[in-house]
Structure formats: structure tokens, C-alpha cells
Amino acid sequence: MAKFSKIEVLQKVAAQGMMPLFYNPDIELGKKVIKACYEGGARLLEFTNRGDFAHEVFGALNKYCRKELPEMIMGVGSINDAGTASLFMQLGANFIVSASLREDISKVCNRRKVPYMPGCGTLTEIGKAEELGCDIVKLFPGSVYGPGFIKAIKGPQPWTNIMPTGGVAPTEENLKGWFGAGAICVGMGSKLISKQIIKDQDFKALTAKTKAALQIIKEVRE
């Protein structure tokens, strides 16, 4: 069962403006990564469902957060069907993200009052997602669409909340482009939690990088 309410999650997404994305089968490594992001100020993290027994890893990490990092809102991405969404929600997922729009996922999430953020690439898909009760849609891959897509959508639909993922980097130029176009939040994976950081296990660097990215987002929004 989700620890945080739907309203709490959506408010935090809007307030923080950045959602780190991460997957690794090593539970102990995962704890260190999440703690580093937490110490850098992040209070949201999307664990991507990209490996065998990923639900077991997520379950362990979510229990760790509830005990040691009580403000961390853990959710799950790369979900492709309602059954998988239900499995992760049973393990306490506070939000569900998918690469494409799935009506079956929206139904099970709505029943549990868990935010569902589907990947959309057209105005028609965005409209359908909003009809299904999705408050935030994911733009993926963001590198293909670019900030101009968000700006164009926000013109006729200023109420639409878009979170680009893919092609987002923790630099002032990149983040200014996305937030200047009207993004509510950005999803950031390897550009934040890089392979080099994982290889070196340089968690102090990850904390510093997270803190710096959040500061840039705060400044570009102002």
C-alpha cells in the first residue's frame, strides 16, 4: 500500500521538478544510490522495472526508505501492463510510470488512488490520458520531441502537465529549455546517475550532482 497520498505525490513532483531514474539488481548498491540522492535533496525516485526479480529489489529498497529515508517517495517506471502495476503497488509503489499509454494500467491505479504517468507522444494521446485521470504525462523520448513540443502543447492546453524523460541533462542550458517551455518536472537517469558514478561508487559526487541540479531547477523557474 502506498505510503503517500496521490495529492502528496503530485505536489512533490511539481515542487521538486526532478525525478531521478535508477535501476540496478544490487540491493545494497541501490540503497547507497537512493541515500545519495536523498542527501542531495531529492524526495522522489523512479525505480525502473528493467530486470528479472526487479519487484523483489524494489520491495527491499522501499522498506529501506520507509525506515531510513522517511520522506523519500518511491515509484516504479517501465511498467507495461496492469498486472505488473498491481504487483508493484502491492509492494508500496507511490506512483506508476510507463513508456506508453495503457488504459488497463490507468484503471488499476485509479482504483488505488495511485498517480499514473503514461508516456505520450501526440496531442491525441495526451487528451486520452487526461480523460483516463492522468494528471501528469511523460514525454518520451524527450530528446526526439524537444522543448518545442511542450511549448506547442501548452499553448492550447495550459492545464496539461508534461514531464520529459530522455535527453534531459543537469545543466543550466538544458533545464532552462525544458522549464522555459513549460515542463512541470523532468525525469533524469544516466545523465544524473552515471555509469561512471556507479562504477566508482562515488556517492558523494552523486549527492553533489543532485543538489546542484535541484538548485539549477529552482533558479531557472524563478
Q: What is the pLDDT of residue 153?
A: 96
Q: Output the nine-digit C-alpha cell for 74.
A: 518511491
Q: Are 81 and 104 in contact (CB under 8 A)?
A: yes
The parts of the chain modelled with pLDDT lower than 50 are none
Q: How far from 132 is each of 1, 2, 14, 172, 186, CA to CA, in Å?
A: 22, 20, 20, 34, 22
Confidence (pTM): 0.97
Q: What is the pLDDT of residue 83?
A: 98
Is the domain spanning 6-214 CATH 1.10.3210.10? The answer is no
Helix (H) or strand (E) holding 186: strand 186-188
Q: Output the nine-digit C-alpha cell for 95.
A: 506512483
Q: What is the pLDDT of residue 59?
A: 98
Q: How many of the other CB atoms lie within 10 Å of CB of 90? A: 12
Q: What is the pLDDT of residue 89?
A: 98
